[in-house]
Structure 1
């Protein structure tokens, strides 16, 4: 396993935006390589809970087992009725039954969140979407973004130091050559490992059963893995006690307005992407002005942010060309510039620009302009 630093930076930036906006609701994170998305429930910019991903049930049961017996867990899940966030509902029931358990529940939730973030860090090409702006009814924990990423990084460094940096802790160890292992370790250790290394439990599961950090278990097993005595295999998640509802992209998000930003500056495009996608819009960045018209005609955005000064052309020329096509005659076009002068504003109006926005861009002004012009465009088309 290796961390995709672009992906984790993207996730960290997304959380930073939500933190500044004091967002309450659900953030969905998807990866090209995983069918099941992760969902992070937030309240006023802090994380309340995380679920989803490839091993959501295993993760929940494993962390719960640190504090409660299997009998207690089985009794608890029989009371669960909610489908989408059944695991969180179970924790709420647990807290309601005994308020003294709240510190353990909070510790468990933090562990679950850190695990989820570490799993996402290994995924290529993640996408983040606002799935809902309705928070959970109860907030059992409020976890700061900074502490989550700090602990995730520490866990990753320990895992990498164990010598299995190219593997995921969600893989299951299976004993392939028992006799070779028997000859290399004490009998008592062999009997224990023979029971645990059955290909049905992940490295994380094994570590919890042995009451050790997963990095310590990984370091112990690394030589036997390299010698082919042990193999790491993929396994599926455990069945959920309630058939979970996979958080889907809401209808309003599936048809969310597509916003285009034409700017030759990668940093401006990245900043605009974080602002707009963080607010639930779809986004496309165009950095090559020579290909702008072709891309815009193909994608048909609902609103266009257009840089004023670009190599080989300028925002006025592109805006004028767009207004001459029937497709973009009424599309909102907002000019971006660092020169907020009266002459520039007049010229922008002459070529048909809808608005003028100064640089550096700010989240509040970008979103206000976006909402304003999309609403006006909708009124015109109605």
Structure 2
């Protein structure tokens, strides 16, 4: 255990530098007070994996969807002996070994997760006072030889410790220079006053903020959905935060995935080299099953939040080529189609749906960022029932669903 009267951030940087120089292999646990703990896994002085902190599950899921959108975390099952402390790293190793993902997207997932963990360590360390002789501000424990997975370490996945620390330190300095030192990227913004926000913003900005800021997404979640840097998103909200139009509150982590042991003694992940077939979606006793065909993981996540919260069953489909068999299999009561998708677009898929007897009367709604009269006419010509523009507005979506679901009952 290491304890010092140095400022915590200086001590952490010093110790990490020593581990790199000594080419340490094993597990390093960093404790900042009893409630805050992070774990780094090193291999010959280089960083292999990092975990702990505020939102380990949310963080893992966000980066997996960002870099490996073809992988659905909800469709995974593991053998009992794979449910180790680093189940998240184990899954990434399995994705590569089973050729369910290319190596580069998995490495990008690891880099993104590790970067966030190191950032959170530096931010939290900077916010606590220098240690006293009675109460050490920080403790660091090491366990030589410990690996993040019994499956080994992914080839070419190790990161130069000093390089990643230098990069994240620059990010933290930019965050601090922007006046964001006391704002954690893990907090969730919430709109305190819709009237004041509408008064202070343009109609388009107001619509986007109301759609995105639900109180259930962290600043990092929003940045991912908006495809922007977290610092840029947070900086843009600061004026409204200062006026108390937007507040910030703590958000719990997502539930730990429930990995069930499959009947056979094998690891079950999405089908290798085949189009994925989702497990039957949860169906409400009282409400309809809604399908959404969209290649954007962000859009599917937003739609899932809207429908599951309202009590509807939800069927997300990422691959337009695989959409028709799944729609026939599950027979949803309402279908949302993205207009712009690779290979088969919304118009083409809608025309195919109308040629299937089981789906010919199922309401279809086209979703698009385009909202021209030509697009609306073409949508009607291929049999679409409605045409809705993005960004997604939860209230409008639910009103539309209620209208069509009531119609078909």
1:144-184 CA distances to partner (integer Å, 9 max, x unpaired)? Answer: 11111111122113323433222111111001011111222
CA contact (8 A) 1:25 1:41 kept: yes
Partners of 1:220 and 1:52 in 2: how far apart?
28
What 5-or-longer segments of structure 1 have no aligned partner? 244-382
CA distance in 2, matches of 1:59, 1:203: 12
Extract unaligned runs of 5+ from structure 2.
129-136, 260-409
Point out the structure with max Rg over C-alpha. Answer: 1
1:6-40 Cα deviation digits (max 9, x unpaired): 222212222222223322111111111625x2111
Q: Is the CA contact 1:25–1:43 (under 8 Å) kept in the aligned structure 2? A: yes
| Distance (whole Å) between structure 2 residues aligned to residue 194 and residue 64 of structure 1 | 26
The corresponding residue for 1:47 is: 47
| Aligned equivalent of 2:147 | 135
Question: CA separation in 2, counterparts of 1:92 and 1:64?
Answer: 13
Other structure's SS at 2:12 match: helix
Matched, 1:177 2:197: no
State the match for 1:238 in structure 2: 254
Which structure features the higher share of helix residues?
Answer: 1
Shift of 1:195: 2.7
CA distance in 1, matches of 2:22, 2:177: 37
Question: Which residue matches 2:28?
Answer: 27
Pair 1:157–1:19, CA change in 2 (3 A) = closer
Say if 1:38 and 1:52, in contact at 8 Å, map to a contact too.
yes
The residue number in structure 1 matching 2:110 is 109
Give runs of aligned pairs for residues 1-382 of structure 1, distance below 5 A: 6-32=7-33, 34-35=35-36, 37-69=37-69, 72-75=72-75, 77-79=76-78, 81-98=82-99, 101-121=102-122, 122-123=124-125, 124=128, 125-136=137-148, 137-140=151-154, 141-242=157-258
Please list the CA deviations of residues 46-83 of structure 1 after superposition, one character each: whole Å capped at 9, or x if unmatched. Answer: 110001112111111121121233862322x4347413
More off after superposition, 123-132 vs 195-204: 123-132
Question: Shift of the alpha carbon at 1:99?
Answer: 7.6
Mapped to 2, the partners of 1:17 and 1:84 lie a distance apart of 26
TM-score (norm 2): 0.54
Is the alpha carbon distance of 1:57 and 1:5 closer, same or farther for their aligned partners in structure 2, counting shifts above 3 Å? farther
Question: Is 2:68–2:101's contact at 8 Å kept on the other side of the alignment?
Answer: no
Distance 1:24 1:149 in 2: 17
Runs of 4+ in 1 over 6 A off after TM superposition: none
Relative to structure 1, the CA distance from residue 98 to residue 239 in structure 2 (aligned partners, 3 Å threshold; closer, same or farther) is same
TM-score by length of 1: 0.58
**Deviation for aligned residue 1:85:** 0.5
Post-superposition shift, 1:132?
4.8
Distance 1:175 1:188, change over 3 A: same
**How many residue pairs end up in the alignment?**
238
Per the alignment, do residues 242 and 132 of structure 1 end up closer, same or farther by CA in structure 2, a change over 3 Å counting?
farther
